[in-house]
Amino acid sequence: MKIKLTNNGYLRIKVRPKSAKNEITEIMKDHSGEETIKIRIKAAPEKGKANAELIKFLSKELEIPKSSISIISGKTDTLKLIKIDNGPI
């Protein structure tokens, strides 16, 4: 399963930490068509380890630098809003 970036540069992600491996498990759509991406992450949710591993995983999946990815909301929650900064086009 592959993540597709939209023009607005935001991703809504539901994270399941302490999993067997890092992987995208599902892309869900709500009634308005907004997507939430379910991702399993190996790291435990302590001292930012799961967030750091999520950013590393997204960087690899999207083939962009980690510095282009930031967590806008949900740093201590399983539901996160991620901002992807593609820079000037």
pLDDT tens by residue, 69-78 = 999 999 999 9
CB 9 within 8 A of CB 85: yes
**So what's the pLDDT on residue 2?**
72
pLDDT tens by residue, 6-47 = 657 899 999 999 999 999 999 998 888 888 999 999 999 999
* Structural domains in the chain plus CATH codes: 10-84 (3.30.1200.10)
**So what's the pLDDT on residue 5?**
67
**pLDDT surpasses 80 at 89:** no
DSSP bridge partners of 28: 36
Structure tokens at 39: 């991702």
CA dihedral 77, 30, 41, 60 (to 10 degrees): -120
pLDDT tens by residue, 45-59 = 999 999 999 999 999
CA dihedral 71, 41, 78, 59 (to 10 degrees): 20
Cα–Cα dist 61/37, whole Å? 13
